[in-house]
Structure 1
Amino acid sequence: MDVLLQQILNGLTLGGTYSLVALGLTLVYGILHVPNFAHGAFYMVGAFVSYHLMAAWGANYWVAMVGSAVVVAVLAALSERLIFHPLRHHEGLHPMIAAIGLLLFLEAGAQALWGADFRRMSTPYGGIVNIFGATAPVQRLLIIAGAFSLMLALHLFLTRTVTGSTIVAMAQNREGASLMGIDATRVAMLTFAISGVLAAVAATLYSPIGLVFPAMGNLVITKAFVIIILGGMGSVPGAILGGLIIGFAEAFAAFYISTDYQDIVAFVLLVVILSLRPEGLFKQRAR
């Protein structure tokens, strides 16, 4: 029983992190139809900013998380304004090439600033607690609580606030929303900023049990794309459910099969689920 509970905790840890990253990605795609490959670089920048604030400036963990979220939100909003907004009338490869270029630029910039070495982020929550016989690092419990709290906050924001309603309206019909007086430019920048906050928080939560390095966002963003395809492109519930499915699958595969095959599980599930349900678990919708 404790072994099963241990894997459930591991699955919730991975699933919560993946869902946060995938939520930011699916928000941008669902509203702007931009496949933002640079989202993994936002995740990486969030981790490095938090690491730098704590290691170089001695900032508190939570202060570093807030500072990282602000920096990445501004970076994401500027990216929308300077890179994606001029390409808004172009379809096909133009936005994707721009996103890949931004990804490479941010990775090169991180390597120039912080080097290519692997770094370990410190955390004040390094203890271990026992839950019904299973040992759980406090940081993992923090990841689970933080990730699902942020998901709930995002849901309430999208469904209970006027600003959130404008984002939902843009996702349903961009032209119609513009005709109703919604400022599409402001909503687009806000959407990118929110996606940046989600990526930065996810990175700051997970990095203490992982490693911080310039290419750390590549595998995460690949899995995030798998998740939003599984859940249905543009679907917020699909991103959450897809993240949990991948997280649990990886946790159980790592324990019962081998950690060598952990990262392959996401792509095997993608093939299996899309062969049964090509449109994903959820059809595209705003909420």
Structure 2
Amino acid sequence: MDFLQQFLQQVLNGLTLGGIYSLVALGLTLVYGILHVPNFAHGAFYMAGAFVSFHLMTRYGVNYWLAMAGSAAVVAVLSTLAERLVFHPLRHHSGLHPMIAAIGMMLFLEATAQLIWGADFQRMQSPYSGIVELGGLTAPVQRLLIIAAAFLMMVVLHLFLKKTVTGSTIIAMAQNRDGASLVGIDANRVAMLTFAIAGALAAIAASLYAPINLVYPAMGNLVITKAFVIIILGGMGSVPGAIVGGLIIGFAESFGAFYISSDYKDIIAFVLLVVILSVRPQGLFTKGVR
């Protein structure tokens, strides 16, 4: 019975990590699928989301959910501004220019966060600090909240892309940018909307995960590295691939840390990348937002 409880505990941990990784990777893969921009600054948007929520809760006493919504709105605006001021002017340049610009923006945002909030590690409080016992399985309420909220956001995004006219324009742009422009789709509007959605997803993921992690200026670096591994595993630009890839990495890290060693937790993602791509170089799913 102890073995089963330990196994289920790792499943819970894997779902928690997988949900967060998938949300971050979804924003990254949306931007890449539409604009073919490897947005290295996406991890800095994740970090900004955590700090904005932390600031609203500690400085102004804002409710956790309202702080998360405020953080999503702020980072969505920040991400849209990045698209207009940084990526849009470079749209006709080679892939190297947007990459360098994204790295520069990442460093700028990290330095700004350190200037405003300092370099110390912060801990964000959650109103959901209780523990739920499910047949001997210990489940912190915040982890259950992360799993429920993360998968709810994935369902909402899927319905948005599949069932709304605006979502259809995003898919059309991903499939054929020139063709979409010919039928009257505003490429600039779709690009801004895509960056806004990606920023909001990163902020929500960070706000969900921050209460069981720490908040600090460089917190997005490892997350964005793993998010790139996830979208490469899943297929560049693939929404289902981002979700499945996030869950694979989440479960691999959880079970690897428990059954092998927590010292190797962060390299498991890269080992998996090598193994899967050696078998299936194009990733788990075919390319393109679907």
- Structure 1 and Structure 2 fold alike (TM over 0.5): yes
SS in 1 for 2:133: strand
Kindly indicate whether the alpha-carbon contact (under 8 Å) linking 2:123 and 2:210 is maintained by their aligned counterparts in 1.
yes
CA deviation digits over 1:222-274, x for unaligned, max 9?
Answer: 00000000000000000000000000000001111111110010000000000
CA distance in 2, matches of 1:115, 1:214: 8
Q: Residue 157 of structure 2 aligns with which residue? A: 154
User: What's the offset of the Cα at 1:150?
Assistant: 0.1
Q: Residue 137 of structure 1 aligns with which residue? A: 140
CA distance in 1, matches of 2:154, 2:166: 17
Q: Residue 128 of structure 2 aligns with which residue? A: 125
Q: Residue 224 of structure 2 aligns with which residue? A: 221
Say which of 233, 238, 250 aligns to 1:230.
Answer: 233
RMSD: 0.5
Q: Residue 72 of structure 2 aligns with which residue? A: 69
CA distance in 2, matches of 1:131, 1:164: 39
Kindly indicate whether the alpha-carbon contact (under 8 Å) linking 2:37 and 2:95 is maintained by their aligned counterparts in 1.
no
Say which of 53, 60, 63 aligns to 2:63.
Answer: 60
| Counterpart check, 1:110 vs 2:113 | yes
Say which of 36, 40, 44 aligns to 2:39.
Answer: 36
| Counterpart check, 1:19 vs 2:41 | no
Q: Residue 180 of structure 2 aligns with which residue? A: 177
Q: Residue 84 of structure 1 aligns with which residue? A: 87
CA distance in 2, matches of 1:98, 1:244: 30
CA distance in 2, matches of 1:266, 1:277: 16
CA distance in 1, matches of 2:50, 2:235: 28
CA distance in 1, matches of 2:233, 2:82: 27
User: What's the offset of the Cα at 1:126?
Assistant: 0.4
CA distance in 2, matches of 1:101, 1:203: 21
| Counterpart check, 1:240 vs 2:243 | yes
Q: Residue 5 of structure 2 aligns with which residue? A: 2
CA distance in 1, matches of 2:153, 2:279: 31
CA distance in 2, matches of 1:60, 1:285: 38
Kindly indicate whether the alpha-carbon contact (under 8 Å) linking 2:150 and 2:205 is maintained by their aligned counterparts in 1.
yes
User: What's the offset of the Cα at 1:2?
Assistant: 1.1
CA distance in 1, matches of 2:283, 2:220: 24
How many residues get paired? 287
Task: Give the counterpart letter for 2:44 in structure 1.
Answer: A
Q: Which runs of 5+ in 1 are unaligned?
A: none
Q: Residue 203 of structure 1 aligns with which residue? A: 206
Kindly indicate whether the alpha-carbon contact (under 8 Å) linking 2:43 and 2:220 is maintained by their aligned counterparts in 1.
yes
Identity %: 78
CA distance in 2, matches of 1:131, 1:99: 44
